[in-house]
Structure 1
Amino acid sequence: WDGVSPDRNFTGIENYTQLFTRPELFRVFFVSFYYLAASAVQIVIALYFATVLSFDLRLRNLFKGILFFPYLINGVAIGFVFLYFFQDGGTLDSILSWFGVGGDHAWLGDPESANTSLAGVSVWRFTGLNFVLFLGAIQSIPGELYEAAQLDGASRWQQFRHIIAPSIKPVVSLSVILAISGSLAVFEIPYIMTGGATDTSTFVIQTVKLAFQFNKTGLASACAVVLLLIILLVTWIQRRIVPDDKVDLV
Structure 2
Amino acid sequence: MADRGVGIATRVPSVHRGLPVAPPPKRGARLGNRWTPWLFLLVPLAFLAVFTFVPVADMFFYSLTDWDGLSPSPSFVGLDNYVDLFTRPQLFQVFAVSLFYLVGAAVQIVAALYFATLLSSKLRLRNVFKGVLFFPYLINGVAIGFVFLYFFQPDGTLDTVLRLVDVDPRLWLGDPGLVNTSLASVSVWRFTGLNMVLFIGAIQSIPPQLYEAAELDGATRWQQFRHIIAPGIRPVISLSAILAVSGALSVFEIPFIMTGGSNNSETFVIQTIKLAFNFNKVGLACAATVVLLGIVLVVTWLQRRIVPDERVELS
Structure number with greater Rg is 2
Write the mapping of 1:228-247 to structure 2, written as runs, cut at 5 A: 228-247=293-312
Alignment match of 2:219 (pick from 147, 154, 172): 154
Q: 5+ residue gaps in structure 1?
A: none
Write the mapping of 1:90-169 to structure 2, written as runs, cut at 5 A: 90-102=156-168, 104-169=169-234
The aligned residue for residue 77 of structure 1 is: 143
Q: Deviations over 1:55-86 (max 9, x none)?
A: 00111111111111101000000000101111
Instruction: State the alpha-carbon separation in 2 of the partners of residues 108 and 24 from structure 1.
Output: 23
RMSD, matched Cα: 0.9
Instruction: State the alpha-carbon separation in 2 of the partners of residues 62 and 72 from structure 1.
Output: 15
The aligned residue for residue 74 of structure 2 is: 8
Instruction: State the alpha-carbon separation in 1 of the partners of residues 141 and 286 from structure 2.
Output: 24
Instruction: State the alpha-carbon separation in 1 of the partners of residues 263 and 87 from structure 2.
Output: 23
- The alignment covers a number of residue pairs equal to 249
The aligned residue for residue 263 of structure 2 is: 198
Q: Deviations over 1:110-148 (max 9, x none)?
A: 222000000000000010111011111001111011111
Residue 91 (structure 1) shift: 1.1
Residue 24 (structure 1) shift: 2.2
The aligned residue for residue 103 of structure 2 is: 37
The aligned residue for residue 227 of structure 1 is: 292
- Partner of 1:111: helix, strand, or coil? coil
- Partner of 1:27: helix, strand, or coil? coil
TM-score (ref. length: structure 2): 0.78
Residue 21 (structure 1) shift: 1.4
Instruction: State the alpha-carbon separation in 1 of the partners of residues 314 and 132 from structure 2.
Output: 31
> Percent of pairs identical after alignment?
71
Larger RCO, structure (CA 8 Å, separation 6 or more): 1
Amino acid at match of 1:32: S
Q: 5+ residue gaps in structure 2?
A: 1-66
Instruction: State the alpha-carbon separation in 2 of the partners of residues 133 and 189 from structure 1.
Output: 23
The aligned residue for residue 254 of structure 2 is: 189
Instruction: State the alpha-carbon separation in 2 of the partners of residues 135 and 191 from structure 1.
Output: 32
Alignment match of 2:238 (pick from 169, 173, 176): 173
Mean Cα deviation higher: 16-25 or 113-122: 16-25
The aligned residue for residue 63 of structure 1 is: 129
Instruction: State the alpha-carbon separation in 1 of the partners of residues 307 and 157 from structure 2.
Output: 42
Instruction: State the alpha-carbon separation in 1 of the partners of residues 89 and 294 from structure 2.
Output: 19
Q: Deviations over 1:211-246 (max 9, x none)?
A: 111110000000110010000000000000111111
Instruction: State the alpha-carbon separation in 1 of the partners of residues 182 and 83 from structure 2.
Output: 33
